[in-house]
């Protein structure tokens, strides 16, 4: 959840606040064992969500109407990652049906589905770049022997669910060219190496009109 160099089972190097947050998430994840077939095993994956926002406007200036638009074309962008834990809730009994999941964020908040996370997350104002439908979905691009991950680009709940974050529907080039997000984003929230994915991203844009 924090600096990868601090990763260890005893949380050495973490601040007391960081330890508290880690344990809160751990306990919330353990609670999800109620959905397990044996009340013990938890099937979980981790989604690394990239958040992007433009540099703040000077206090004496008015925020321009395009402040949140087309971050991929600008250099005044800050980015960071946040983790969301995806836990299997049920096993489908019908052929072709998908498993249902719950999602737990870094604040130990539980969301009953992915849409609930997108509409009720507590992230600050930012643009969210995440795996489509809250799961890693890979496709092979036609005519190319490259692997792509489907992504969505959406405003955070605090930014406003109807906020426009992109003016272009050129989705493939949008995510791949968000500067550092194109590198960090594509590489960070997939288990496949960055060399395979950079420039080979399929994205879906979800914005307000």
pLDDT, average across residues 165-186:
50
164 vs 142, higher pLDDT = 164
Residue 187's pLDDT is 44
Per the CB < 8 A criterion, the answer to whether 129 and 153 are in contact is: yes
Pick from 169, 31, 16: nearest CA to 108: 31
Q: Say whether pLDDT at 176 is over 70.
A: no
How does pLDDT run across 73-96, given as a tens digit for each residue? 677 788 888 899 999 888 777 777
Of 34-38, 48-52, 118-122, minimum mean pLDDT range: 34-38
Q: How confident is the model at residue 173 (pLDDT cuts 50, 70, 90)?
A: very low
191 vs 9, higher pLDDT: 9
3-class secondary-structure state, position 136: coil
Q: How many residues does the chain have?
A: 209
The pLDDT value given to residue 145: 65
Q: pLDDT > 70: what percent of the chain?
A: 67
Bigger pLDDT: 108 vs 197: 108
Q: What is 54-108 written as a DSSP string?
A: EPPPPTTSPPPTTTTS-GGG-S-EEEEEEEEEEEE----SSTTPPPPEEEEETT-
Q: What is the pLDDT of residue 102?
A: 93
Question: Which segment, 8-12, 38-42, 166-170, is predicted with the most confidence on average?
Answer: 38-42
Placement of tokens 């540099």 in the chain: 55
Higher pLDDT, 179 or 41: 41
Which of the two residues, 202 and 42, has the higher pLDDT score?
A: 42
Give residue 205's pLDDT: 47
Q: What is the pTM of this model?
A: 0.75
Query: Which residue, chain included where needed, has tokens 């906020």?
Result: 163
Average pLDDT over residues 158-180: 63
**32 or 70, greater pLDDT:** 32
Whether pLDDT at 31 is above 80: yes
64, 68, 50, 69: which is closest to 168 by C-alpha? 69
DSSP string, 16-55: HHHHHHHHHHHHHHHHGGGGSSSSS---EEEEEEEEEEEP
> Which of 69-83, 108-122, 181-195 bottoms out in mean pLDDT, i.e. has the lowest?
181-195
127 φ/ψ sector (left φ>0, alpha ψ -120 to 50, else beta): beta
**Element spanning 130, H or E:** strand 127-131
């Amino acid at each position: 959840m924090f600096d990868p160099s601090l990763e260890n089972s005893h949380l050495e190097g973490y601040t007391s606040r960081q330890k508290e947050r880690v344990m809160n998430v751990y306990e919330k994840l353990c609670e999800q064992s109620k959905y397990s077939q044996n009340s013990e095993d938890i099937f979980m994956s981790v989604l690394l969500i990239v958040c992007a926002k433009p540099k703040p406007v000077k206090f004496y200036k008015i925020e321009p109407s395009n402040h949140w638009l087309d971050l991929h074309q600008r250099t005044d962008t800050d980015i960071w990652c946040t983790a969301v834990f995806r836990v299997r809730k049920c096993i489908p009994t019908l052929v072709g049906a998908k498993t249902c999941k719950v999602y737990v964020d870094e604040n130990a908040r539980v969301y009953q589905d992915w849409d609930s996370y997108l509409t009720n997350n507590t992230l600050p104002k930012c643009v969210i770049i995440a795996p489509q439908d809250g799961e890693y979905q890979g496709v092979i691009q036609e005519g190319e022997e490259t692997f792509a991950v489907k992504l969505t680009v959406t405003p955070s709940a605090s930014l406003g669910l109807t906020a426009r974050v992109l003016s272009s529907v050129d989705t493939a080039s949008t995510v791949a060219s968000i500067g550092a997000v194109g590198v960090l984003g594509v590489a960070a929230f997939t288990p496949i190496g960055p060399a395979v994915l950079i420039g080979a991203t399929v994205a879906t844009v979800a914005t307000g009109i």
